[in-house]
Chains A and B, each alone.
Chain A
Amino acid sequence: SQELEQSPQSLIVQEGKNLTINCTSSKTLYGLYWYKQKYGEGLIFLMMLQKGGEEKSHEKITAKLDEKKQQSSLHITASQPSHAGIYLCGADIGFQKLVFGTGTRLLVSP
């Protein structure tokens, strides 16, 4: 079965700093989703990547899928308190059924 490992597990950054979250898969990724979750709430879709080498950006968040399609990174530029939450990567194992990592908890200090 496919497993996703995220690092770091938690992160505290000062407002305005950049940060990167990594997601490593035990198998080739055919669809990699990034979601954000606020504590105790549902998941908010950020981006989906499918092609090796693909890079997508939305506002100050950029996600990449490496050429071998086994690792993805999420980069936030000039972090803000609104970026705080849990970031989850999810691998599509068919028909949009997702296997998720355990998440990265981000706190942004003023």
Chain B
Amino acid sequence: DTGVSQDPRHKITKRGQNVTFRCDPISEHNRLYWYRQTLGQGPEFLTYFQNEAQLEKSRLLSDRFSAERPKGSFSTLEIQRTEQGDSAMYLCASSPASGANTGELFFGEGSRLTVL
């Protein structure tokens, strides 16, 4: 078990460009979450998947943000027309199905976005 992996770890882009982040959860984890963390703050919930279904999206997730989990395995988070305010660490987390859920939410190392 290699844990939750995220790619890329760092991304620098110019304002107005599109960026995409990928998250590979721990295999067989049904639940997958995206969080955003800005400097000096705790992570903020963005969206949540149960298998391939996106069950909830935070109001923080503007129309420029879209997340997918097409086959219920890896997930992508795309930001269109990036703005400087999008600069943050984007964290992915996963957890197993309810029956096997010990309560732990497993986080990846994060993808740091800098918008110039």
Contact = CB atoms under 8 A, between A and B. Distances in A.
Contact of B33 (A31, A97, A101, A103): A97
Given A33-B103, A43-B107, 18 more contacts: A42-B4, A42-B91, A42-B109, A43-B93, A45-B105, A45-B107, A90-B42, A95-B31, A95-B48, A95-B55, A95-B56, A96-B33, A98-B43, A98-B45, A98-B105, A100-B42, A103-B41, A103-B42
Interface residues of A, number: 23
Main secondary structure of the interface of B (DSSP, over half): strand
B109 A97 contact: no
B66 to A, nearest CB: 19
A59 interface: no
Contacts of B56: 95, 97
A21 interface: no
B44 A41 contact: no
Interface in A4-40: 4, 31, 33, 35, 40
B95 A45 contact: no
A88 interface: yes
A102 B112 contact: no
